[in-house]
Amino acid sequence: MRQSEERYISLLTDFGFKRIFGTAPNKDLLINFLNSLFGKEQVIKDVKYLNSENVGDVYTDRKAIFDVYCENEQGEKFIVEMQNAYQKHFKDRSLYYSTFPIKEQAPKSADWNFKLAHVYVVALLNFDMHDVAFDKKAIAHDVGLLDKKTKKVFNDKLTFKYVEIAKFDKPIEKLHTIYDKWLYTLKNLSRLTDRPKELRSKVFDKLFEEAEIAKFSKQELKEYEDSLKAYRDIKNSLDTAMEQGFEKGREEGREVGRAEGRAEGRAEGRAEGRAEGRAEGRAEGRAEGITSQRLDTARSMLEDGLPLDKIMRYTGLSHEEITQLK
């Protein structure tokens, strides 16, 4: 009896995402998906998959392992990452990742005028970033190099696209664009028991064929279930941490609110104290709870023998934080 009783794989798992978007036989699915994200900004006709594991220089020996790394017919580079867990320095990580396709463009011999091909970093986020720079109501965010005063593009060779798929909540009957259909599928594929009429097209017919678990070999099934277990472990840990954080935040908020309210001795002071105390307490409680749960999950993954790069991906912890647990 297999662990997963779903008909289709989850694209939120490492195995599922790479199976659909990271293999040459399915490159038409990747092309269609990327074109839906970029709209008229970028029309990709073909892609070539590149080595998704990049090693830093000899001084740092840092690795960057991408979910999908490819280039289009014009030589422009695309890094595509699925991130399930919030990571404190995720924006820094995105910036660090972008340096690899930039540096590799320098020829090892002959002269070079430093002309670069465009580099795109696409981050698909199964959480809300809560970033002050983003429009809170928007799901997709485009980040580039701009002049702060004029707001004009300074250099168009580096683009970051952050897509908060966790925010997407359209029901299936309101999927009017290919972009909507892809976001819905990313978030809900494993919950479907059949192909809905809204997702019947040449591209999605192929996706459903590739995603049907019953067609997997024994090895593919084992790899998927391992990946699914890792995804569920971190999700359950984060859900528990959020619940504990909210409870701790509510209690601390009440205490702080009562203390401040008594000190000021006025109804207005009590109201403001309670409001501020709850907000601060919830935030601190959530942060502490999530960190604790991630560390516990990382310990379990280490005991199960999972490699460090997968533990980092699923927990959002740094290499140093994980190695300290050994």
DSSP state of 48: E
Radius of gyration of the chain (CA): 22
The predicted structure's pLDDT at residue 58:
40
Q: Tell me: the pLDDT tens digits for 236-249?
A: 776 666 566 556 66
Pairing of β 153-164 and β 119-125: parallel
Burial 163-190 (b: 16+ CB within 10 A, else e): bbbbbbeeeeeebeebbbbbbbbbbbbb
3-state secondary structure of 68: strand
How does residue 231 score in pLDDT terms, banded at 50, 70 and 90?
A: confident
CA distance linking residue 92 with residue 98, whole number of Å: 10
Flag whether the pTM goes above 0.85.
no
**Structure confidence at residue 286 (pLDDT):** 55
Domain ranges of the chain: 14-215, 220-323
Q: Is the pLDDT of residue 168 over 70?
A: yes
